[in-house]
Structure 1
Amino acid sequence: MTGVGGFEAIVLAAGAGTRFGGGKLLAPYGEGVLLDGALRAAFAAPVRGVTVVTGSDPSRVGAAVTAYARQAGCYERLRIVHAVDHAEGMGASLRHGAAALPADTQGVFVFLGDMPRIPVSVLAPLAQAVRDGAPAAAASFGGKRGHPAVIGAALIPQLLTLQGDAGARAVLQGLGDELVLVQAPDDGVLFDVDKPSDLDVGAKK
């Protein structure tokens, strides 16, 4: 998709997947690997570029990301950065991803690499909410806030100061009613993979 000027995406793909038993993002899923689902959503979003943050397995994850982007014809929009301090937690990954964003970024989608079923239809309304003046927007389903979230320009500096395992939630939680929630068509905005059995559950949806 041709990107909307000023919007970017970050895909967090740095985790070791300890609860999964390791190698989670590269586990077989559908016709490819688990990470492909998040990449598919990120490249389908109305963004100029997609920044993928690697961590525990940078060579293999980076190779898988590159292969996907080439096959999908999106390689020119891909940026891969490595979070050397990824073991600190999600905050470190987001810091590195945010630091790699172009200076004129108006808003950034934050995708999690282990969420393969994000419905594409929710992406444009999320960007539009921020374009219309919301400081941030997030997908929701069944009254629960999910992913992805879109962080507006005024809040991006906060991503650069995240510590530990604090992700985008740390930025969103203080917004109250200013956070726009966009209703998703299904629970893909809530579904993530923690253990191998989750792969079968997700694939049946």
Structure 2
Amino acid sequence: MMTRAGRHALVLAAGAGRRFGGNKLTALWRGEPLVLAALRTALAARVERVTVVTGARAPALESVLSTIDDPRLQRVVARDWHEGLAASLRAGVASLPSDAQGAVIFLGDMPLIPEGLADQLLDAVAGGAPAARVRSPKGPAHPVAFAAAAFPDLVALEGERGARSVIDALGDAVAPIDSDAAGVRFDVDLPSDLDTATVDKPT
């Protein structure tokens, strides 16, 4: 089996879910808390560790995470989560061990990311790309992955600036991984999304 050493996954789950009305990541998606869908996909990847970044709803999420028995699962709390998405990224990347070679970043409200994409992204990073992203014919997609050389740029982010700004700055050096799966663009934003019959939401 190919090694997991140095390969990591982050699941960002620190936000308050205000548009949703709160408690988004513990709301039921297909019979279980929403965050578990992203977490299971991350755990299916060939990674050494999966770190879930919590914040606004940390106690509630901890209760959910305690149901998962996998020694690779770690938690970190972004205590400055209210500053925006960048706070989650900073906390997650800062928690990685010094020998981390690359990390793939999942969003906790994206439950339908296909398994296998994370490994392709991390393979591209291991092959020398500073970052790798999913490229969808319908627009921006997730997840994304970064080599360790890009970590300082991620921990320097502020406010609502997410990983996409670092991807954009790297330009053509970013390795694209093509996917036409609708799940690479679908996120749960409102309660109605939990019951949607299709994941092809308008942009």
**Superposition TM-score, scaled by structure 2 size:** 0.93
Q: For each residue in 1:115-155, what CA deviation from the matched residue of structure 2 results, as whole angstroms up to 9, or x when unmatched?
A: 00000132221111111111100112215231110011110
- 5 Å-filtered alignment, 1:1-205, equals 4-67=4-67, 69-70=68-69, 74=70, 76-201=71-196
Q: What is the distance in 1 between the residues matched to 2:46 and 2:6?
A: 10
Q: For each residue in 1:79-106, what CA deviation from the matched residue of structure 2 results, as whole angstroms up to 9, or x when unmatched?
A: 1111111000010111111111010111
Q: Which amino acid aligns with 1:141?
A: S
Q: Which amino acid aligns with 1:63?
A: S
Structure holding more helix per residue? 1
RMSD: 1.8
What is the CA distance between 1:202 and its match in structure 2? Answer: 6.2
Percent identity of equivalent pairs:
46
In structure 2, the gaps of 5 or more residues are none
User: Cα–Cα, structure 1 residues 17 and 65, in superposed 2: closer, same or farther, change >3 Å?
Assistant: same
User: Cα–Cα, structure 1 residues 57 and 79, in superposed 2: closer, same or farther, change >3 Å?
Assistant: same
| SS of corresponding position for 1:137 | strand
Q: Which amino acid aligns with 1:9?
A: A
What is the CA distance between 1:31 and its match in structure 2? Answer: 2.5
What is the CA distance between 1:66 and its match in structure 2? Answer: 2.1
Q: Which 4+ residue blocks in structure 1 deviate beyond 4 angstroms? A: 202-205
Q: For each residue in 1:29-79, what CA deviation from the matched residue of structure 2 results, as whole angstroms up to 9, or x when unmatched?
A: 113111111101111112100111111111111111221x22xxx1x1111
| SS of corresponding position for 1:101 | coil
Q: What is the distance in 1 between the residues matched to 2:161 and 2:144?
A: 14
**Superposition TM-score, scaled by structure 1 size:** 0.92
| SS of corresponding position for 1:98 | helix
Of residues 145-154 and 110-119 in structure 1, the stretch that sits farther from structure 2 once superposed is: 145-154
| SS of corresponding position for 2:146 | strand
8 Å Cα contact 1:14-1:86 kept in structure 2 = yes
What is the CA distance between 1:199 and its match in structure 2? Answer: 1.1
Would you say how many aligned residue pairs link Structure 1 and Structure 2? 200
